[in-house]
Structure 1
Amino acid sequence: MRLQLDLQYFAGEKTEKATPKKRQDVRKKGQVVKSQDVNTAFMFFLIFLVLFVTGGFLKSSFTQLLEKSFTEYIHLSVTKDSFFTVMMDIGLQITIVLAPIMVAAFIAGLVANLMQFGFLFTTEPLKAKLERIDPIKGAKRIFSLRAIVELFKSIFKISIIGAVTFTILWINKDEIFMLASKPLDGAIAFFSTMTIQMGLAASLALGIIAVFDYAYQKYDFEKQNRMSKQDLKDEHKSIEGDPLIKSKIKERQRMMAMQRMMSEVPNADVIITNPTHYAVAIKYDEEKADAPYIVAKGVDSVALKIKEIATANKVMTVENRPLARALYSKLEIGDMIGEEFFQAVAEILAYVYRIQKKQ
């Protein structure tokens, strides 16, 4: 038993890589290769690095704030003005303390995005789309293969980060059990050091995961933006133009050029013919050119049309087969007569001018 397959069923299968134009179009819509894990890992690493550098400053700042709260603020009367003053003072102190961390987070996010897809500004993702509130499409997104992959990725990341932080706690378990015998400053210093260690270790682990996640995101992006052979043909048509439309445009341009050429025939001094196949209209105007020039030319039906217009406008026609053929093949409309034809054309023009004077 033979099975016959119609290859047209596979014409819409997306098997081709995205073209540069397709990539540019989706980029304008905000669709780029991006791993959020790269942003998170880089941000965590830079934030904990800033905490490590500014740890002493943070400790002294919060200590001063607590001392001021229990030595000055506690003695103030509870009034509207005093409450406003205390809140402004505390807010200013907290802002100064957190400013390096916020700046580090902003720089980390900016650099991470620039590393992944460069500078991109688009408002396309912010536009309201009704399909986003469609419950059916929403359910499809929730239970899609991509959602399942993201779920397992999240579980894996939580497991890795949990294992890393637990390992650091386990390494320092002896010192943790001895905290009760340490002074307050020592306990705070120990917890601060261990927190930074856990943060840096977790960010490094997340960075390793981010490398693989970026590779997956790149693969998924390429897969989502594959094109079918028909898509390639349609894009080529949109770039190069539909052949049918292009042929119509060219035909229209030819017609317009023909009309312009025919409108110059009544102004010609003479039409040199084959007599049946070629016709070349020549004009001599001292103000426009130093020598006679071609205003129209044609073969067969176009030549016949030129001769009809010439007859209707009383433009003389002179038969000279070799000259007509040579002028048609070697000169274009607007070209001046060359030296090789100058004598022959001059004789014809002189003959035409003499006939016109007699008339």
Structure 2
Amino acid sequence: MAWFKEDRTEPATPKRRTEARKKGQVAKSREIPTAIIILVASTILYLYGYYLNNTLIAFSRQFWAHANSMHVSPLYLDHAGRYILQALSWALSPLFIGLIFVCLLTNYIQTGFILSADPITPRLSRINPISGLGRLFSLSAFVELLKSILKLFVIAYITYRIIIHELPHLPALSTLSINQIISYMVRISFNICIKVGLVLFIIACLDYLYQRYQYEQNLRMTKQEVKEEYREREGDPKIKARIRSLQRQIARRRMMQAVPKADVVITNPIRLAVALKYEHKKMVAPEVVAKGAGLLAERIKQIARAHNITIVENEWLAQILYKTVEVGQTIPPTLYKAVAEILAYVYRLKGKRL
């Protein structure tokens, strides 16, 4: 199976999920709205049935009360048809409004707000017979078939059990009035719908978990896809490394150009060099204008000698400055005394004043 899945071992990235959502690809179960609609419709009809029954009876009485005076004509039939539709619309509007609201709510809870034209965009692949056969014999089609069979079995079994349970009561219906018989049938129908709806809701919850699993599996990516996405987002690592290298070279070149302006270069004898500059009218404290280790330290010392910059060996101070102060920063107050002593020594050599 790994060959068919193209080694999609990596979980989907946020970008992959966002792109899938824009295309209308989300994890949801179509069974959940169906089950909830059955439950809600049954409950509304059961609770609303008395009012609906009285409304329809009143409408029928009003309609047939004028049967003897009816003059059948196209105009009369038009008015009668509109009257019937209006009466039925008012009577059934709570049911329709409730079902529309429930349908929208159940889909929103599953997926949130999503608006995409991609699922209805015409594509040749959707009318390709080969692709159609592939979908027909796919795992998803097999699962849908099993769900359909299971739902039919549930409906048939629950209906059968309830009818078998009510069979002993059927002979007594002959002694009841029409309204009592209708009430009895409504109660039995409501019982069937509620039990069917509850079982279908359980199936729908299991289906949602399966759809969620399938959605995650379909979104999985190969290692190569993850690398390509990272490259698109962050840039090619080789190019980025080259850019960082060039930036370091430019920074190093600027740093070396600042060494001739330094007042002193503090070193430890082996591998470190830190160049300091201080202008008492412009700076609150001495500033590190260059620093380096190894070959870079040697280069700083060479430039310092070439421009008659005093080099002072102080292993402790060189290490502290190199580790704690970046190029372009002033020294911390804790080092003022140590650096001031060195600058005083340098200025005495050059005849300057601190």
Equivalent position of 1:202 in the other structure: 196
Relative distance call for 1:10 and 1:170 in structure 2 (3 A) is closer
Aligned: 1:13 with 2:7:
yes
SS in 2 for 1:104: helix
Equivalent position of 1:3 in the other structure: none
Equivalent position of 1:42 in the other structure: 36
- Once the two structures are superposed, the pairs formed by residues 323-342 of structure 1 within 5 Å of their partners are 325-326=318-319, 327-328=321-322, 331-337=325-331, 338=335, 339-342=337-340
Equivalent position of 1:155 in the other structure: 149
Give percent identity, aligned residues only: 29
Q: Deviations over 1:270-298 (max 9, x none)?
A: 35276996554333234542222112223
Relative distance call for 1:36 and 1:331 in structure 2 (3 A) is closer
Q: Distance in 2 between matches of 1:146 and 1:11?
A: 15
> Aligned Cα RMSD in Å?
4.3
Q: Distance in 2 between matches of 1:210 and 1:128?
A: 28
With structure 2 as the length reference, what TM-score do the two structures score? 0.74
Aligned: 1:128 with 2:121:
yes
Pairwise CA distance, 1:199: 1.8
Equivalent residue in structure 1 for 2:249, among 244, 255, 267: 255
- Once the two structures are superposed, the pairs formed by residues 64-213 of structure 1 within 5 Å of their partners are 64-71=58-65, 75=70, 78=73, 89-113=83-107, 117=110, 119-123=112-116, 125-126=118-119, 128=121, 130=123, 131-173=125-167, 183-213=177-207
Aligned: 1:55 with 2:53:
no
Gaps of 5+ in 1: 1-7
Pairwise CA distance, 1:92: 3.8
Mapped contact 1:271–1:279 kept (Cα < 8 A): no
Q: Distance in 1 between matches of 2:208 and 2:166?
A: 33
Q: Distance in 2 between matches of 1:11 and 1:96?
A: 54
One-letter amino acid matched to 2:152: I
Count of residues in Structure 1 that have an aligned counterpart in Structure 2:
342
Mapped contact 2:271–2:294 kept (Cα < 8 A): yes
Pairwise CA distance, 1:139: 2.0
Mapped contact 2:272–2:293 kept (Cα < 8 A): yes
Equivalent position of 1:346 in the other structure: 344
SS in 1 for 2:310: strand
With structure 1 as the length reference, what TM-score do the two structures score? 0.73
Pairwise CA distance, 1:243: 4.5
Q: Distance in 2 between matches of 1:299 and 1:189?
A: 96
SS in 1 for 2:284: coil
Q: Distance in 2 between matches of 1:204 and 1:40?
A: 11
One-letter amino acid matched to 1:341: V
Q: Distance in 2 between matches of 1:36 and 1:88?
A: 35
